[in-house]
Structure 1
């Protein structure tokens, strides 16, 4: 299992001084340079717009281009480009990723996602078309990379990527249906363990593997059948020190801000409707339909994290320690001493996860604490990257 790193450049209030944004961006660059030195596999940079304190990463392609000149080994992942063409036209996606690949000497990785409602509104994207637009991008971008002009109106997109045939393609996924979709497209899947019990992660891994194995017409020139998950990681000298350093507050802060920014209450209702349709589909609803029916008849109630998330969505101010405890009980966080973190990393490797994206700069955790955590986790990398 590769040990990667995941960055949103979070900038929580209260903001200190006029240059607080510059300070956060400079810290992200310092963290990426350190990650390169320590042997992390890939630096994954998100794309969000209008996110305020939740994420300063509105132009990840620029940050990744800068990192291409400050690093030498670490791969550089855009996770993920917002694919509706009102936000990012497929030609621009192909051009920017190819240029990043050239600048980095072949270290680029590219994910695509349909984005979320606040970003659709900001750019005037029609929610009814975003799924189709994302599919269009998945089909068009690799064609442009390999010189096929049918997807670009007869114009050859330049430059071509440094990697041959092209950089690995990925899809951000948060539901069984999207895991199946990624597998059938022949692209890697980018998931999140933060709110998922480990047992469900294992089942999602199996779902994706089965879908990828059945892929006979990948959208790219080759199948990228890798599974990546990100989760909150904070390592300190002891378990107690990790907690005293603000781990609980950071995990709770992220949970509350993410649910707000992603408008999770509305998204939850949409997801429930789509999943019910899959379960009721006369043809079976594919692998995702089978996954959901098995889950519905298992008799297992909602996880502690799901119950806490439900309370937050209803407007309740759930104490930080209670949020953290619910997440911790289902083993979806990697927090503690190096030995504790080693065991939790090993558990994900044993599930068949190919890349564990360590989300370390979270909430109000101090920059020096993030760097220390990165160094301690970095010492574990040789045990997994072999």
Structure 2
């Protein structure tokens, strides 16, 4: 299992200085340079718009271009480009990624996602067409990279035949979809118990094994998950660093920003349709039928309370997330054990989400070093 880095560039209030945004961006560069030195395999940068303190990463291609000149070996990943054409036209995505591949010496990984309602509204995207536009991006971008388009794309990527393709996924149906497209899958373990993660891994593996016509020129059979990671000298110090508050802050902010209550209803509607499909609903249908009698755990119940507008105490939410092993927080020995559990689940890449909430920069850097020292054990 490779250990990667995952970055949102979070900037929570209260802000101590007027140049707080500049400081956060500078810190992100410093964190990436350190990750490069310690052997992390890839730096994944999100794309979000209008996210305020939740994420400053509105132009990830610019940060990644800067990192291409400050690092030497770490790969540079989009997790992920918002694929609807009103936000990012497929040709522009292909052009920017090709340029980044040239600048970085062939280190690009490109993820795509259809995004969510807040960003659709911002750019005037018709929600009904977002899925089809994402499919178009998966088809058109690799054709442009390989010279199969009507008009040449210059420069072409340095990697041949092209950079690996990925899809962000948050539901069983999207894991199956990524597998059938023959692209890598970018998921999250932050709110998922480990047994369900293992089942999602199996779902993707089954789907990708049947992929005869991948979206790109080759099948990128890889599974990456991101989760909150914070390592300190002892378990107690990791908690004193602000890990509990950071995990709780992120959970509440993410559910609000992504309008998760509405998204949850949409997902349930889609899943009910899959379960009602007289043909069985394919691999996703089988996956969902295996969950019908599964009782929700404490973390899922706490998230449900947040979706209903309730404020869940930080310590209670953190303990619930820790109980389902979805966070990697503690001493190097504790983190080693939790990382091993993910490796045993069959994950190819764990994207370590370390700059979270109000955890101070110096503690983030210390955590990057401590986790980095564990990398050889998993390589």
> Above 0.5 in TM-score?
yes
SS in 1 for 2:16: coil
Q: Which of 164, 173, 177 does residue 181 from structure 1 map onto? A: 177
SS in 1 for 2:208: helix
State the distance in 2 between where 1:103 and 1:227 align: 26
Matched residue, 2:264: 268
- Pair 1:63-2:57 in alignment: no
What are the residue-to-residue correspondences of 1:26-175 with 2, within 5 Å? 26-149=26-149, 154-175=150-171
Q: Which of 336, 345, 358 does residue 342 from structure 1 map onto? A: 336
SS in 1 for 2:264: helix
Matched residue, 1:210: 206
Matched residue, 1:194: 190
SS in 2 for 1:112: strand
State the distance in 2 between where 1:358 and 1:3 align: 7
Matched residue, 1:328: 322
Number of aligned positions between the proteins: 379
State the distance in 2 between where 1:98 and 1:148 align: 15
State the distance in 1 between where 2:117 and 2:155 align: 32
State the distance in 1 between where 2:164 and 2:132 align: 21
Q: TM-score, normalised by structure 2?
A: 0.99
Q: Which of 353, 362, 368 does residue 359 from structure 1 map onto? A: 353
Matched residue, 1:20: 20
State the distance in 1 between where 2:346 and 2:196 align: 13
SS in 1 for 2:47: coil
State the distance in 2 between where 1:314 and 1:300 align: 21
Matched residue, 2:3: 3
- Pair 1:309-2:299 in alignment: no
Residue 293 of structure 1, CA deviation: 1.0
State the distance in 2 between where 1:172 and 1:12 align: 25
Q: TM-score, normalised by structure 1?
A: 0.98
State the distance in 2 between where 1:381 and 1:293 align: 37
SS in 2 for 1:254: helix
1:234-289 deviation per Cα after TM superposition (whole angstroms, max 9, x unaligned): 00000010011111000000000000000000000000000000011111111001
State the distance in 1 between where 2:377 and 2:140 align: 39
SS in 1 for 2:170: coil
Unaligned stretches of 5+ residues in structure 1: none
SS in 2 for 1:295: coil
Q: CA RMSD in A?
A: 0.5
State the distance in 2 between where 1:65 and 1:244 align: 35
SS in 1 for 2:121: helix
1:65-117 deviation per Cα after TM superposition (whole angstroms, max 9, x unaligned): 00000000000001100000000000000000010000000000000000010
- Runs of 4+ off more than 3 Å: none
Residue 177 of structure 1, CA deviation: 0.2
Residue 15 of structure 1, CA deviation: 1.2
State the distance in 2 between where 1:102 and 1:279 align: 46
SS in 2 for 1:287: helix
What are the residue-to-residue correspondences of 1:218-229 with 2, within 5 Å? 218-229=214-225
State the distance in 1 between where 2:125 and 2:298 align: 35
Residue 232 of structure 1, CA deviation: 0.1
Residue 159 of structure 1, CA deviation: 1.1
SS in 2 for 1:129: helix
